[in-house]
Amino acid sequence: MHSQSEQDDDRLASLAVVLPLALTGFVVAAGCWTLFAVAGVHLRADLGLSSLQFGVLLAMPMAVSAILAIPAGLAAQRYGAREVMLLCLCGLAVCMGILLLTDTYIGYLVAAAGLGLAGGFYGAGLQFVISHCDQRRLGLVLGVFGAGVTGAGFNYYLVPLFHEAFSWQGVPMAYLITLLLVIALLIMLTDATNEEDESRERSVREILGVIRRGRNLPLCLYFGVVAGSFFALALWLPDFLSGQYQLSLDDGARLAQWFVIPGAVAQAIGGGLSDRYGSARVAARSLAACLLSLLVLSYPPMTLFITGVDRVLVVEFVLPVSLESGLVVVLGVAMGTAMGSLQRMVILANRQEASLFAGVLLVSACAIAFVLPVAFGGLNQWLGVRTAVFMILFLLLSGSLLLFSRHARREERNMLLHPGI
């Protein structure tokens, strides 16, 4: 008993070092991941990009993350999560160097593709923190690590400041310096993997077999829809808010941070609540809150002409900025809570293959996050209705809630859920 207690204390002490370090790295990586959400708005004006070109630029990091997610998870299992994390951070630093040198749309697309390495850091980092925590704290630890997405929210505040003070070139330079500092800390404060785990080398057929046999596999799709919608909306909001309310680009970016930061922090809340009340209950209620917010946000500004007895009455319907901002915050918190609970369900059911299923989660999320900005841009250019983005998300999340509820009931009937999930 004493020996087990000592092991628990050692693991907790190790987690106290590893989790803040991994979280810091993910904050910086997530900031790089969504850099073009804010900086891209300035580039759109400078380069004269169409809505579709802008959507492709926003979606490129997500597309590359989807491609790298599973290979990064498998590499973390074989060569060590720490080594993969360092490799991804070094790649992001190279991308910052490219951004300092390029001035063409193609150059920015290449750099945006390289920013997809942040997705590889997520898969490896998740494996890194899981190996240092026990099952009792799994939901909270996963949520805290996932809260590193706050790095995307910091972009909305810091990028305009650097842009005003140092011009556009100051933004990648600041990220380059920060990345080098995180790389140095990770090297100094963590131990290298002593040897490769060659037993983890598997064929594509074996990998697909593991994924097919995984428990709660449909939940990966539901997580992908929620997380992909969150990332896509985080990328699109600065442009949406600045155009919808005739705000400056910087003001639109600062307003958008109140979607990302509360949503990212809510992942920890969702994980903690799931540890206590069960993931299925928390996820279902969070998705319902998402739908209520999206239903109101979907209504575009309207002018109604009502023919009366003596005259025509004109009624205008426009959501005030304060109400829309409040609903955006609620939407972000609800999405973050749902992400935290769904992530816990998948990882807890497949803990032995955590990094692989982290890759599956990321593939599903990035695939959705790649498609949606392009769809937003195309639909906005075709219909000319900005709130159509919320209509798309309402339909996606409605379908996810319906399928998730059916899945949860079926799992309960068959008694396949782990206790506490």
Indicate if the pLDDT at residue 417 is higher than 50: no
Convert the pLDDT of each residue in 48-100 to its tens digit. 877 778 878 877 887 888 788 788 878 887 788 888 999 999 999 999 999 88
Query: Environment class of residue 344 by beta-carbon count within 10 Å: exposed (0-12), middle (13-18) or buried (19+)?
Result: buried
Q: What is the pLDDT of residue 203?
A: 56
Check if the beta carbon of residue 186 is closer than 8 Å to that of residue 86: yes
Q: What is the pLDDT of residue 200?
A: 52
> What band does 333 get if pLDDT is binned at 50, 70 and 90?
very high
Convert the pLDDT of each residue in 25-40 to its tens digit. 888 888 887 788 777 7
Convert the pLDDT of each residue in 267-296 to its tens digit. 888 888 888 888 888 999 999 999 999 998
CB atoms within 10 A of CB 379: 18
Indicate if the pLDDT at residue 360 is higher than 90: no
Indicate if the pLDDT at residue 5 is higher than 70: no
The mean pLDDT of 242-263, rounded to a whole number, is 77
Check if the beta carbon of residue 126 is closer than 8 Å to that of residue 118: no
Q: What is the pLDDT of residue 91?
A: 93
The mean pLDDT of 325-338, rounded to a whole number, is 90
Q: What percent of the chain has pLDDT over 90?
A: 14
Indicate if the pLDDT at residue 252 is higher than 80: no
Q: The tokens of 225 are what? A: 């829809």
Domains of the chain: 2-191+200-414 (1.20.1250.20)
> What band does 416 get if pLDDT is binned at 50, 70 and 90?
very low
Identity of the amino acid at 29 = A
Nearest residue to 143 via CA among 52, 19, 231, 324 = 19
